[in-house]
Amino acid sequence: MGKKLLFIFSSFVLLLLASGFWLKSLIPPPQDHHALAQTLPADLDYLRQRPGKNRGKILAVVTSTATLGDSGKSTGYELTELARPYYVFVANGFDVDIASPQGGLPPVVIDNDDMGPFDYAFLNDMEAQEKLHNSIPIEQVADKNYRAVFFVGGKGAMFDFPDNPAIQRLVRGLYRDGKVIGAVCHGPAALANVTMENGEALVSNRRVTGFTNEEELFLIPDAREIFPYLLEDRLRNSGAIFEPGPAYLKRVSIDGQLLTGQNPWSTWPVAEAMVKALGYKPVPRAITPAENTVEVLLTYEQRGIATAGKRLQQMQQQESKAIDRRLLAMHGIVAAMRGEIGKSLDLVRLLARAGKYEAQ
């Protein structure tokens, strides 16, 4: 009996090891970040499409908060959530100023796994870095100078955006004048406490989104103790019609001149939606492999694995529709961590198909 149990256990361990090696073979190595780090704005073909006529100014607002409350954990604005909209606005003919509650150089969060050409180009962009190092104190900002404002995400925004009188005044003035207000991820915290002249909350009965409770609590289980509130709760309590999408996938809510994105994966579409809201057709942009992967994942969430598999095959038959297999694997791991075993196995199947298509 003991030998039989030992044989079964050994076979199980070998099966697990073999599965692990197989899964590892499906995940490509990370990008060459050393090479990517050399990217300059001049290397981005996208920016060469900038129209000759200047279309006015957009203000990007980032947090000045460097620590998550009393936790001692560092925070700041998310680099990718500033760099990508910055270049969307620039490529579409707008000048961009950068402001923060305290002014000066704001704290930043850089996730190397998320970094791409636009993000490294931003770090090497002398003009952008000059604006960033000397960000305008928000109390010195005049709303009349801007056609739109974009509130950049980053967990620090939860602390210094909602109750800042200068931010409230800026948003109220822009909204009253019919200008465009955008925000992504934790950026919508700037909208949660804005009261209009009639005494109603700005977001009351407005369709908005932002980083959801589900997303926050998965990443930080003790978020309710660390943050003064959860963003979804705060927006709902202010009367918003909160529109959550699937966790860690793109979602953009548009309610007139108010445009909000749920999380970092919503950054590109919310910035381009702002360009449309300002009356222009966004210039063409090469869709990234990560965005293609998010489309496949959304198809899976909405229509199941069969349709997602067909979508994946269609994409990979086009050279311009590359897939980020590392991101697909990450979502499979997250599903497993959340106990969604069926979903995790489905995503592994999609991952295997993606590897097979790329090898053909």
| Average confidence score pLDDT of the chain | 91
How far apart CA 306 and CA 303 sit, in angstroms, is 8
How far apart CA 261 and CA 188 sit, in angstroms, is 8
Which single residue is written with the structure tokens 């001149």?
A: 257
Size (the chain), residues: 360
Domain assignment present for 26: no
Residue 297 in contact with residue 331, Cβ under 8 Å? yes
Same-domain pairing of 196 and 108: yes
User: What CATH number did the domain enclosing 130 receive?
Assistant: 3.40.50.880
pLDDT on residue 12: 33
pLDDT at 6 exceeding the cut of 90: no
Domain boundary (277, 312, 343) is at: 277
pLDDT at 119 exceeding the cut of 70: yes
Residue range 126-171, pLDDT digits in tens: 999 999 999 999 999 999 999 999 999 999 999 999 999 999 999 9
Domain assignment present for 3: no
pLDDT on residue 124: 98
pLDDT at 200 exceeding the cut of 70: yes
pLDDT on residue 24: 58
Residue 150 in contact with residue 56, Cβ under 8 Å? no
pLDDT at 359 exceeding the cut of 70: no
pLDDT on residue 109: 97
Q: What are phi and psi of 123, to 5 degrees?
A: -65, -25
For 351, the domain range is 287-360
pLDDT on residue 17: 37
CB contact burial 103-136 (16+ within 10 A = b; e otherwise): beebbbbeeeebbbbbbbbbbebeebeebbeebb
pLDDT at 205 exceeding the cut of 90: yes
Domain assignment present for 22: no
Domain assignment present for 5: no
pLDDT on residue 23: 55
Domain assignment present for 24: no
293 or 29: which leads in pLDDT = 293
pLDDT on residue 4: 40
Residue 98 in contact with residue 133, Cβ under 8 Å? no
Average the pLDDT over 67-79 and give the result: 94
pLDDT on residue 321: 77
How far apart CA 195 and CA 212 sit, in angstroms, is 22
Domain boundary (209, 243, 277) is at: 277
Average the pLDDT over 225-235 and give the result: 97
Count structural domains, the chain. Answer: 2
Give percent of the chain with pLDDT exceeding 90.
81
pLDDT on residue 67: 96
User: Amino acid identity, residue 213?
Assistant: N
Among 86-100, 122-136, 251-265, 338-352, which is the least confidently predicted range? Answer: 338-352
Domain assignment present for 142: yes
pLDDT at 33 exceeding the cut of 80: yes
